[in-house]
Amino acid sequence: MPQLKLETLSIGSLEKIALDVPPGEVICLSGPSGSGKSRLLRAVADIEPHSGEISFGDKEQNKIPGHQWRRQVMLVPAQSAWWYETVGEHFHKPMEEAIKVFGFPAEATGWQVSRLSSGEKQRLSLIRALSYEPSALLLDEPTANLDTDTTNKVEKWLLAQIKKHQYPVIWVAHNREQIQRVASRHFEIQGSHLVEREISQ
């Protein structure tokens, strides 16, 4: 799997960000509320206008139609959007194993989206993202609505998928213990820049 590369990326108050995300590695991103974490992910997903270069292997973001890029470099936002009536209609391929691992009954794919709790939406949006067989992942606080047990399960499952498929991953996280558990490297937004932090700090 190729690496995801950000060069001189500027968006909002962030200036000239450079970041290499090798395959199978999780780069955790933290920073104060409003510092630009979600916008940075949206720029990498080509949802928000930005300047600078973003590439995935030999593919350059500005030379590929946005929908094709996003299918490969998959953003899982903090608040997921749902378009169809039932859960299963959103999946690109059946995800029976993941549904079971996440503690849902098999019939969850037939559930109405309108009945889902925020934590259920969050877990199902991760499963949905992986059902599209992406090449890289952008995760915006993927366990924010989840209790401790479920957080542990989701982390384990995600890390196993990341290792298996060698996805390069940018993972926005606030929790220091979570960063220690999942990160290969940790960067914090300070003003307009990213500052690397020791993972054990």
Ligand X SMILES: Nc1ncnc2c1ncn2[C@@H]1O[C@H](COP(=O)(O)OP(=O)(O)OP(=O)(O)O)[C@@H](O)[C@H]1O
Please give the helix or strand (H or E) that residue 133 lies within, else none.
none
**Could you tell me the smallest distance in angstroms from the CB atom of residue 94 to ligand X?**
32
Question: Nearer Cβ to ligand X, position 26 or 189?
Answer: 189
How far, in Å, CA of 38 to CA of 82, rounded? 19
**Could you tell me the smallest distance in angstroms from the CB atom of residue 135 to ligand X?**
23
Residue where the block lists tokens 């939406």: 121
Question: Nearer Cβ to ligand X, position 43 or 87?
Answer: 43
What number of other Cβ atoms are within 10 A of residue 61's Cβ? 23
Give the residues across from 26 on adjacent strands.
169
Q: Is 122 in the site for ligand X (CB under 6 A)?
A: no
Question: Nearer Cβ to ligand X, position 48 or 155?
Answer: 48
# binding residues, ligand X (CB under 6 A): 9
**Could you tell me the smallest distance in angstroms from the CB atom of residue 87 to ligand X?**
25
**Could you tell me the smallest distance in angstroms from the CB atom of residue 200 to ligand X?**
23
Q: What would the x/- binding string for ligand X be over residues 1 to 40, using CB under 6 A?
A: -----------x------------------x-xxxxxxx-
**Could you tell me the smallest distance in angstroms from the CB atom of residue 192 to ligand X?**
12
Question: Cβ contacts of residue 169 below 8 Å, gap of 6+?
Answer: 21, 25, 26, 27, 136, 137, 138, 139, 162
Environment class of 113 (CB within 10 Å of its CB; exposed 0-12, middle 13-18, buried 19+): middle
Which parts of this chain interact with ligand X (CB under 6 A)? 12, 31, 33-39
